[in-house]
Structure 1
């Protein structure tokens, strides 16, 4: 395993040491397989879609959950339904899977839909009003309190 020196980054930050360690750990981990294949698309400034190819899985076989900013999509099929078949060639993968995506702060899951073997998870970036940029009006030196403009007035 390679060792990275993050000291230059940590000199000008406070409280981000765990974040840096997590980023390095995640960057150096090998992805566990490429199944199922997926696309990540930005549909607008604040909306995203993750589409997974889940051919052969029904809605009941799939589970989607978010735990601590990690989206987990898993698929489980009964192996009993294929026991009575003798495959001469099996090119359609139908194995169980567990795919995880790390979500950015304030990114929420809006919903999911399954259509034509494609599972689409809809995501939206919802920045709270308190975290949005705001403009501060510069007051006079005579002791006036600076007025805070709302984010909608700042535009």
Structure 2
């Protein structure tokens, strides 16, 4: 099998990563069966993948609707300045907002792109006005409201 540009991984390692991305709670015995190893070597490989940083952790993916965070909004943020101190202050403030799930420094039209999860439009309006709009250094905010999730995955191709 081709390496696909993932240095240090063989086809069994990649299969282990695919299986764990699909089901992080799979037992070692079941994982070993799926990748055609005995349990001990399989566990050693998983531990090695963890130690080498390929696996950063394990988590539960929650249903946003069930936890009252069904509205997903992307926000394009432009800052008043590109000075390092402005960027750092913005990043600190946004990192403290639990509604912000993701924050990316961007090249292009906006300085940052945020992914925000809230209950509904009223909750977003309140968050926008009372919290996000008050973050230091913000010059403008453009909201892109998600109407439908067509594809969502956390699994990376390996």
Q: TM-score, normalised by structure 2?
A: 0.25
Larger radius of gyration: 1
Using CA pairs under 8 Å that are at least 6 residues apart, name the structure with larger relative contact order, 1 or 2. 2
Higher helix share: 2
Q: TM-score, normalised by structure 1?
A: 0.25
